Structure 1
């Protein structure tokens, strides 16, 4: 059985390299590290967009960053999806977007609801869902020392507990990326190549276990 995974996220999934002002190499982006680590046991489709939120509009972007609005389209494009990995919330914590971990958690809850209730065709079942809370923000090298966009470090520290509670209630799996990755001090939000690889490597046994229980 070919196991299909959709990795749904923001610039941390896209592979934004703020040190070089570009994108991390293909082999360093966590969805591709995950795919390599699974050794052909699964296909991983990376759907990362810089600035994407869980369910909030950001009208300052030329693209639609509202995750809840685009997820149904992606589910329709890529089904059958056996596992949906969601790693979002860092952009929800921008003050002008939401700013609160509780709001991001509510958005995660909405995304799970969409995934579990979408009318998949050809008898396809709803995917399992793995919720990944993003790494905690760090003090940056900016003059004010704040993470990019005026985000609050303390709110980012609350994400894991909030997300785990939502995942448990919805019957989903959970992983805390802060347990293996740290944000770069360049802007306090994004990851260097090593830390984005760390997420992919850490998810290999988590996802392998999900695949095993699904077979």
Structure 2
């Protein structure tokens, strides 16, 4: 059996817009992907609300830096055949750190972590799939608009930046915005149909990467 680490933020965790709860297990994109691969692959959900590429959030108890969490996940779940990383929306949240190029630099650090981590004997370096998230959208939710509305335009640049990084580092790339849209309830998260759409769209992509 192949093993995939799905590493991301609330879009991977399955945050339901407007409800502050989690989508049903069968609706979250990592599990839709696993179901579509006919039991031949285990997809490990590793999503954390608010996670950024390399930055921490000083306003919460838990550390939200992907650069801190990723080595722990690699250690815990090795051996891995593929790591899928979808991050970047939260990197745009704070004024002064809202450029897609900054998220790309953070993603580059995560690529380096996966490639240079010292795996146990017999564990190969996994393939890497960089995934840009759906674009941020306008919302009537006052709090989410405060955090993200200034970054809507910049979120549309993430796909370009990540595709360029993937080309430079020989990673695979997928643009989730090509098949999924943020729920306007909060302008960030996904409804069940859109998170399922990501999982379904990844099935042929992952089959190709892992030669399934």
Greater than 6 Å deviation, 4+ residue runs = none
Structure 1's unaligned 5+ residue stretches are: none
State the 1:204 CA deviation. 0.4
Q: Secondary structure at the match of 2:128?
A: strand
| Structure 1 residue aligned with 2:166 | 167
CA contact (8 A) 2:136 2:148 kept: no
CA root-mean-square deviation? 1.6
Aligned partners of 1:35 and 1:145: how far apart in 2? Answer: 31
| TM, length-normalised to structure 2 | 0.95
Q: 1:20-52 deviations in whole A, cap 9, x for unaligned?
A: 331100000000000001111210000000000
1:50 aligns with 2:54: no
Do residues 82 (structure 1) and 45 (structure 2) align? Answer: no
Deviates more, 1:26-35 or 1:144-153: 144-153
For 2:115, the equivalent position in structure 1 comes to 116
Q: How does 1:1-215 map to 2 (within 5 A)?
A: 2-96=1-95, 98-142=97-141, 146=145, 148-212=147-211
Residues in 2 aligned to 1:171 and 1:99: alpha-carbon distance in whole angstroms: 26
Post-superposition offset of 1:142: 3.2
Q: Which structure 2 residue ranges, 5 or more long, are not aligned?
A: none
Contact 2:104-2:165 at 8 Å conserved across structures: yes
SS of corresponding position for 2:18:
coil
Deviation for aligned residue 1:97: 7.3
Of stretches 15-24 and 79-88 in structure 1, the one that deviates more from structure 2 is 15-24
Q: CA deviation at 1:61?
A: 1.6
Task: Report the CA distance shift for 1:205/1:97 in structure 2 as closer, same or farther (over 3 A).
Answer: farther
Change (3 A) 1:145 1:14: closer
Is the contact made by 1:31 and 1:44 (CA closer than 8 Å) also made in structure 2?
A: yes
CA-to-aligned-CA distance 1:4-34 (integer Å, 9 cap, x gap): 0000000000000023331100000000000
Q: 1:143 to 1:64 in 2, by over 3 A?
A: closer
What's the TM-score once normalised by structure 1's chain length? 0.94
Q: Equivalents in 2 of 1:37, 1:20: separation in Å? A: 27
